[in-house]
Amino acid sequence: MAFDYDLDYENLDLRKHPELYRVGKGEQGVLLVQPYKNEILPHWRFKTPAIAQESCDKISEMFEEYRKQDDFVGMDMARKFIQMGYTRARRYTNYKGGRKYNEDGSIKERQIDSEKAESAAIFKKRWDEIREDEDYLKRKKEHQKKYG
């Protein structure tokens, strides 16, 4: 999401003002865009594969509900949380505690956590499905054409 730093995103309801939402790369803005952050964040978890599956399923349901409501911003935010489930679980897969760097700035040696890798795979599968979802891609193009 491209940011206009003059806007107060924490208090801006992008459901009421979708014209202010810009599709960005990756997870940018995922923790700023309201009211979606408050709706989705409580369900975002990846500690174990069972928790990750429950989380991914719930966020996927929300994605579909946003679709039914013709709410592209909500769909894209759900996609971002699913993507973030993958990227954060991968970080914790590779680095105990999720920290990649030592205090001196050097990169820590990887310590693979197979349970976190399984959690990451759950989110990755769904993220890949969304990235190939023709309706989502069509709505994304329409939003970008209409609002930039």
Confidence (pLDDT) at 8:
66
Q: Which two tokens stand for residue 136?
A: 């989502």
Q: Is the peptide bond before 42 cis (omega within 30 degrees of 0)?
A: no
Instruction: Summarize pLDDT for 58-99 with one digit per residue, the tens.
Output: 999 999 999 999 999 999 999 999 999 999 999 999 988 888
Domain map (residue ranges) of the chain: 28-99+110-143
In this structure, are residues 95 and 108 in contact, taking their beta carbons and an 8 Å threshold? yes
| pTM of this structure | 0.89
